[in-house]
Structure 1
Amino acid sequence: MMKKKFVLFALTLLLTATSQNAVWAGEILERIRQTGVITAGTRKDATPFAYINEKGEWVGYSIDILEIIRQNVEKELGKPIRLKLVEVTPQNRFNKVKNKEIDIECASSTFTWERDKIIDFSVSYFASGTKIMRKKGSSLGTIDSLAGRRIGVIPNTTNEQAIKIQQPAAIIVPIKNRIEGLEKLKKGEIEAIAGDGIVLQALQLENNNGDRFEVVPEFPYVYEAYACMIPEDESAWRGMVNYSLVKFMEGIISDQPQQVEMYEKWFGEETGVTPYSREAINDYFQGIVDGYEWIPLISY
Structure 2
Amino acid sequence: MRKKFVLLVLTLLLAATSQNASWAGEILEKIKETGVITAGTRKDAIPFAYINDEGEWVGYSIDVLEIIRQDIEKKLGKPIQLKLVEVTPQNRFDKVKNREIDIECASSTFTWEREEMVDFSVSYFASGTKIFRKKGSDLGTIDSLAGRRIGVIPNTTNEQAIKIQQPAAILVPIKDRNEGLEKLNNGEIEAIAGDGIVLQGLRLENGNADKFEVVPEFPYMYEAYACMIPEDESAWRGMVNYSLVKFMEGIVSDQPQQVQMYEKWFGEETGVTPYSREAINDYFQGIVDGYEWIPLISY
Q: Secondary structure at the match of 1:260?
A: helix
* Deviation sequence 1:85-135 (CA, Å, 0-9, x none): 000000110011011110000000000000000110000000000000111
Displacement of 1:24 in angstroms is: 7.7
Aligned partner of 1:191 in structure 2 is 190
Identity of aligned residues (%): 88
Does 2:135 align with 1:105? no
Aligned partner of 1:244 in structure 2 is 243
Does 2:42 align with 1:55? no
Aligned partner of 1:135 in structure 2 is 134
Two-structure CA RMSD over aligned residues (Å): 1.0
Aligned partners of 1:128 and 1:197 also within 8 Å: yes
* Deviation sequence 1:151-195 (CA, Å, 0-9, x none): 001111100111111111111111111111111111111000000
* Deviation sequence 1:33-77 (CA, Å, 0-9, x none): 000000000000000000000000000000000000000000000
**How many Å separate the matches in 1 of 2:286 and 2:206?**
34
**How many Å separate the matches in 2 of 1:207 and 1:282?**
31
Q: Secondary structure at the match of 1:138?
A: coil
Unaligned runs of 5+ in 1: 1-22
Aligned partner of 2:75 in structure 1 is 76
Aligned partners of 2:23 and 2:233 also within 8 Å: no
Q: Secondary structure at the match of 1:190?
A: coil
Aligned partners of 1:73 and 1:81 also within 8 Å: yes
Q: Scaled by the length of structure 1, what TM-score is found?
A: 0.91
Unaligned runs of 5+ in 2: 1-21
Larger Cα-atom Rg: 1
Aligned partner of 1:10 in structure 2 is none
Does 2:89 align with 1:90? yes
Displacement of 1:210 in angstroms is: 2.1
Q: Secondary structure at the match of 1:114?
A: helix
Structure 1 stretches of 4+ moved >2 Å? none
Does 2:158 align with 1:159? yes
**How many Å separate the matches in 1 of 2:84 and 2:48?**
14
Aligned partners of 2:151 and 2:173 also within 8 Å: yes
**How many Å separate the matches in 1 of 2:78 and 2:91?**
31
Displacement of 1:207 in angstroms is: 2.4
Aligned partners of 2:51 and 2:58 also within 8 Å: yes
Aligned partners of 1:39 and 1:84 also within 8 Å: yes
Does 2:218 align with 1:219? yes
Q: Aligned runs of 1:4-19 on 2, under 5 Å?
A: none
Q: Secondary structure at the match of 1:207?
A: helix
Q: Scaled by the length of structure 2, what TM-score is found?
A: 0.92
